[in-house]
């Protein structure tokens, strides 16, 4: 059923209808559209624009439709243009002409962006929950390897020894920032555009603040033109999702590297691996690769929307219909990847022995020599130079740092006493990195303790918000 047409002598050409139509993707806004219609109905009734009888009938039909949409009993049909027209068809099928009453004081322009905000809030809260699940898996895995030395890398070259748990835990911190971003985003997104009308507000006695509160928003739009035009919340959500995707991708990349025969550190569980159709021996870390690969489309969705928005005059333009598919796709993608990566992390085992053997390789203890000299009051530039000479001598003579003789050490720098060998152990190097956030067992224990507290409080925060949102949706 068309929501317009009074001034037209002819209906839209087939190609026009096909291009205009959005119901095949915006149908997922139906529950939110119905909920915001109920809020709008309250105001139409309380301001006396609808009688109690009419409002009661519409309320009953909206609630029926809500149930029928949930079960799939009511669905969009080929002639519906968008979710709003499909649901108005549903109302008029039930109620006759009064089904069209809800359009008073409201335009699809404020309606669609209100629906999209509600959809986005609902789903970003789910993303937050899934991120927390992944953080919990990362923390558990990090704890499992709290005492496992491994080489740490810069430039993918051995740099300094680290505790492998420290390596795993770093990812949980990246996701903590994503949760922070979702919290910030929720504050800015909690503004209801309902009441902005087509662009100029309404001459009817509506109360946008009341509808805003009924829908769980903190406030209503302070400028009706901005209200219908603002898609910052979509762009920001797409950025947050792209950032989450990038963090997932970086986990994927590490898992791929660690699972190579050359590294041989990671044993990815069968349930999270795939085989090859031709090479019977293959076990590939496809989940890690897909986590990496999906990041591309998440970045693409963000740049696509920013390109749509750039240069768009304010107030509603049909270009804005293009805001939905990238958001839906990014949310679907992230909600698909997060549980798979969580499972992969939780079920991967690492070869402690291989990692421990690799920890001191590549002269990864050279910094210990430099730090030893600094403690003997040698300026760092000289200390660095001397440690470099030790490495060069080892390289040319096929030895490890602790194998240099007392006189070789002394010749390179007089402050290099035989006790320098005390710091040339992986264990000693790890134990000495006691700065906050460092890789020493004591710093790591502190890190995990506060990380757990953070995740717990985030869990509570997002769970409360989810509960409040569900309560609002169920009224
Ligand atoms: N399907 C449209 C969208 O998603 C709804 C708003 C249409 N408004 C209009 N004035 N044509 O943006």
Distance 157 CA to ligand 1 centre (A): 54
* Percent of the chain at pLDDT exceeding 90: 93
pLDDT band at 376 (very low <50, low <70, confident <90, very high): very high
Helical residues (DSSP H) of 145-231, grouped into ranges:
164-189, 208-214, 224-229
Distance 109 CA to ligand 1 centre (A): 6
Our mutation pick for probing the ligand 1 site, out of 199, 321, 324, 327, counting the most ligand atoms within 8 A of Cβ, is 321
- Nearest-atom number in ligand 1 for the CA of 82 is 1
* Percent of the chain at pLDDT exceeding 70: 100
Q: Is the pLDDT of residue 266 over 70?
A: yes
Residue 3: per-residue pLDDT? 77
Residue 283: per-residue pLDDT? 82
> In whole angstroms, how far apart are CA 267 and each of 72, 234, 349, 351?
43, 39, 5, 8
Give the residue, by CA position, lying nearest to ligand 1 atom 7.
108
pLDDT band at 61 (very low <50, low <70, confident <90, very high): very high
User: pTM of the predicted model, to two decimals?
Assistant: 0.94
* pLDDT tens column, 3-14: 777 888 888 889
- The overall average pLDDT reported for the chain is 96
Our mutation pick for probing the ligand 1 site, out of 4, 20, 108, counting the most ligand atoms within 8 A of Cβ, is 108
- Known catalytic residue: 36? no
Give the residue, by CA position, lying nearest to ligand 1 atom 2.
321
Report how far residue 468's alpha carbon sits from residue 460's, in angstroms, rounded to the nearest whole number. 12
- Ligand 1 lining (C-beta closer than 6 Å): 22, 26, 82, 108-109, 112, 316, 318, 320-321
Distance 32 CA to ligand 1 centre (A): 15
Let me know: does 353 contact 344? Beta carbons within 8 Å: no
Tokens of 455: 């995740």
Residue 1: per-residue pLDDT? 59
Our mutation pick for probing the ligand 1 site, out of 111, 112, 317, counting the most ligand atoms within 8 A of Cβ, is 112
pLDDT band at 279 (very low <50, low <70, confident <90, very high): confident
Catalytic residue among 20, 276, 442, 457: 276
- Nearest-atom number in ligand 1 for the CA of 22 is 1
* pLDDT tens column, 156-203: 999 999 999 999 999 999 999 999 999 999 999 999 999 999 999 999
pLDDT band at 284 (very low <50, low <70, confident <90, very high): confident
pLDDT band at 84 (very low <50, low <70, confident <90, very high): very high
Report how far residue 285's alpha carbon sits from residue 257's, in angstroms, rounded to the nearest whole number. 10
Which helix H or strand E contains 160, and what residues bound it?
strand 157-163
Which helix H or strand E contains 84, and what residues bound it?
helix 83-95
**Smallest Cα–Cα separation from 291: which of 237, 239, 327, 345?**
345
Give the residue, by CA position, lying nearest to ligand 1 atom 3.
321
- Known catalytic residue: 432? no
> In whole angstroms, how far apart are CA 156 and each of 106, 152, 452?
57, 9, 29
* pLDDT tens column, 210-264: 999 999 999 999 999 999 999 999 999 999 999 999 999 999 999 999 999 999 9
> In whole angstroms, how far apart are CA 141 and each of 153, 338, 347?
20, 16, 9
């Amino acid at each position: 059923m068309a929501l317009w047409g009074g001034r037209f002598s002819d209906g839209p050409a087939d190609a026009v209808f096909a291009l205009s139509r959005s119901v095949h993707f915006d149908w997922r806004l139906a529950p939110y559209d119905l909920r915001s219609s109920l809020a709008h109905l309250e105001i139409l009734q309380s301001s006396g624009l609808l009688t109690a009888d009419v409002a009661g009938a519409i309320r009953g039909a909206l609630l029926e439709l809500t149930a029928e949409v949930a079960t799939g009993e009511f669905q969009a049909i080929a002639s519906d243009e968008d979710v709003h027209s499909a649901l108005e068809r549903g109302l008029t099928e039930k109620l006759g002409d009064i089904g069209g009453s809800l359009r008073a004081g409201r335009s699809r322009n404020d309606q669609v962006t209100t629906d999209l905000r509600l959809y986005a809030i609902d789903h970003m809260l789910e993303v937050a929950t899934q991120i927390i699940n992944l953080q919990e898996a990362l923390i558990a895995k990090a704890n499992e390897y709290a005492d496992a030395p491994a080489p740490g890398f810069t430039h993918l070259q051995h740099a300094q020894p680290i505790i492998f748990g420290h390596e795993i835990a770093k990812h949980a911190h990246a996701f903590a920032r994503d949760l922070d971003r979702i919290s910030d985003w929720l504050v800015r997104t909690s503004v209801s555009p309902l009441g902005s009308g087509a662009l100029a507000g309404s001459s009817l006695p509506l109360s946008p603040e009341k509808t805003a509160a009924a829908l769980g928003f903190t406030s209503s739009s302070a400028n009706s033109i901005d209200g219908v035009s603002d898609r910052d919340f979509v762009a920001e959500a797409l950025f947050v999702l792209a950032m989450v995707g990038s963090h997932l991708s970086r986990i994927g990349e590490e898992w791929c590297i660690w699972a190579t025969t050359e590294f041989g550190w990671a044993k990815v569980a069968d349930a999270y691996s795939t085989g090859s159709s031709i090479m019977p021996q293959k076990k590939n870390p496809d989940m890690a690769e897909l986590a990496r690969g999906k990041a591309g489309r998440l970045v693409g969705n963000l740049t696509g929307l920013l390109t749509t928005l750039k240069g768009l005059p304010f107030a509603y333009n049909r270009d804005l219909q293009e805001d939905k598919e990238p958001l839906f796709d990014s949310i679907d993608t992230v909600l698909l990847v997060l549980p798979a990566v969580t499972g992969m992390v939780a079920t991967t085992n690492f070869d402690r022995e291989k990692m421990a053997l690799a920890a001191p390789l590549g002269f990864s203890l050279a910094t210990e020599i430099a730090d030893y000299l600094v403690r003997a009051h040698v300026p760092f530039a000289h200390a660095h130079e001397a440690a470099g000479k030790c490495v060069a001598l080892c390289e040319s003579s096929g030895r490890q740092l602790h194998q240099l003789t007392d006189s070789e050490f002394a010749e390179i720098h007089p402050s290099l006493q035989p006790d320098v060998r005390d710091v040339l152990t992986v264990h000693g190097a790890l134990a000495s990195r006691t700065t906050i956030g460092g890789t020493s067992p004591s710093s790591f224990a502190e890190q995990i303790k506060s990380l757990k507290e953070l995740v717990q409080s985030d869990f509570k925060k997002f769970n409360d918000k989810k509960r409040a949102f569900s309560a609002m949706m169920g009224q």
